[in-house]
Structure 1
Amino acid sequence: MIGRLRGVLVEKQAPEVLLDVSGVGYELQLPLTSFYELPELNQEVVIYTHFVVREDAQLLYGFVTKQERALFRLLIKTNGVGPKLALTILSGMSASEFVKCVEHDDIATLVKLPGVGKKTAERLLVEMRDKLKSLMEASQGSEREFVLQSNYSAKPQVNSAEEDAIAALLSLGYKPAQASKAVSGVYQEDMDSETLIKAALKSML
């Protein structure tokens, strides 16, 4: 099982990246909370991974912290939640925000995420409560725990930020009209795609 990769970031198009590890290119899908923290292209980065093997595909998911990967693994153990939906959940809100939803039984916020209906949200609140308590206790002493803050500063991508943002939202399960409306509603001149994605997601919660 592949648990961690250290390599050079050669491509990134949310939510996917290509990591060059000693000449081998690994394609990974990251939740946007992790994607925001990536360095610029051609910089070295360490990514914690979770490998999924299906009959029709082999998929590698990446995370910038062990805590976020641990939460992802707990999510996919929940009945009705697969890797794609877990990635969507962690892209729509930070891990700390998800913890707050569980602590406060906040179904209303969870159902705003694509693919999360009322029944799925209710299962998440019930099944994740005890799991999160154990995970947070195991994480005590970690400086960051579930707090994921962006330190990535990208250069503006002229004429492509809106397209990149819409493509990222579509890949997470949002409908084309919904993604386009959210992006156009928050777009400001000189916004880079990562900032635009983050603002569009926030506007839908």
Structure 2
Amino acid sequence: MIAFLTGRLAVKAPTHLTIDVQGVGYEVHIPLSTYYSLPNLDDSTALHIHTHLREDAIQLFGFLSQSEKEAFLLLTSVSGIGPKLALSVLSSLSVTDLVHAIQAADTEKLETVPGIGKKSAGRLALELKDKVGKIQGIHPRSPAAEPAEFDDLFEDALSALVHLGYRAQDAKEALKRVTKAASGSLALKELIREGLKELARG
């Protein structure tokens, strides 16, 4: 089983990449959170890998953090949640937000993920409630904790805006305004979209 790959980033796209390891190219499926944090093409990168065996194929799924990999494995342990849907979850919610939604049985939050309906959300909350707290690097949410700026989702959105050509400081200030004005936590796509609107306003 391949558990880790380090090499040159040869190809990158929102759903997959190719990493060149000493002349051998490995195609790896990734969530958006990993895509937005990738280095430039031809730069070196390292990925935590899950090797998924099927009767007709071997698929590799890659993550920049161990916590994402652990979350992916927990998600796919739930009946009805395959690798593709698990990637959709991690593309929509940060690991921190996913863990907190499951622990709080916040099925409405889980249902914001494309492909996750009411039944699937309930199953995730029920089956993973006592497991997600063991994910590496995840800590219980503190009521007094600073939101936004130090959240994984905030950092993913910031990285995406910087990749789109915006200055890091401008993007950070825009995202701060968005998260402050939001009535609740936003999914990654929503945060990026609202951040772009805020930047357009200047």
TM-score (norm 2): 0.70
- 2:25 maps to amino acid: G
Distance 2:194 2:134 in 1: 29
Per the alignment, in what secondary structure is the counterpart of residue 112 of structure 1?
coil
Matches of 1:107 and 1:121 in 2, distance apart?
5
Aligned to 2:11: 11
- 2:96 alignment counterpart: 96
Report deviation, 1:103: 2.4
Q: CA deviation at 1:105?
A: 1.6
What secondary structure, in the 3-state scheme, does the structure 1 residue paired with 2:79 have?
coil
Cα distance in 2 between the residues matched to 1:48 and 1:55: 23
**Structure 1 counterpart SS, 2:163:** coil
Contact residue 92 and residue 201 of structure 1 kept, 8 A:
no
Q: For 1:32-43, list aligned pairs within 5 A.
A: 32-43=32-43
TM-score of the pair, normalised by structure 1: 0.69
Report what 2:131 is aligned to.
131
Report the equivalent of 1:154: 163
Task: Name 1:108's counterpart in structure 2.
Answer: 108
CA contact (8 A) 1:15 1:32 kept: yes
One-letter amino acid of the counterpart of residue 10, structure 1: A
| Post-superposition offset of 1:108 | 1.1
* 1:196 Cα deviation from its structure 2 partner: 7.6
Output the aligned Cα RMSD.
2.7
Aligned to 2:51: 51
Alignment of 1:156-195 (within 5 A): none
How far is 1:201 from its partner?
9.9
Distance 1:52 1:103 in 2: 27
Q: How many pairs does the alignment contain?
A: 159
Partner of 1:199: 192
Change (3 A) 1:121 1:47: same
String of CA shifts for 1:37-91, please: whole Å, max 9, x gaps. Answer: 1111110001010011112221100000111101111111112111111111000
Q: Return the offset for 1:130.
A: 0.5
Q: Which runs of 4+ in 1 moved over 6 A?
A: 195-198
Higher relative contact order (Cα pairs below 8 Å, separated by 6+ residues): 1
Amino acid at match of 2:152: V
Q: Is the 8 A contact 2:17 2:29 kept in 1?
A: yes
- Give a deviation string over 1:177-203, Cα, whole Å, max 9, x none: xxxxxxxxxxxxxxxxxx98963599x
**In the superposition, relative to structure 1, how do residues 36 and 116 fare at CA in structure 2: closer, same or farther (>3 Å)?**
same
Q: Distance in 2 between matches of 1:87 and 1:196?
A: 14
1:173 corresponds to: none
Does the C-alpha gap of structure 1 residues 122 and 36 become closer, same or farther in structure 2, counting only changes over 3 Å? Answer: same
Between the aligned partners of 1:18 and 1:197, the Cα distance in structure 2 is 28
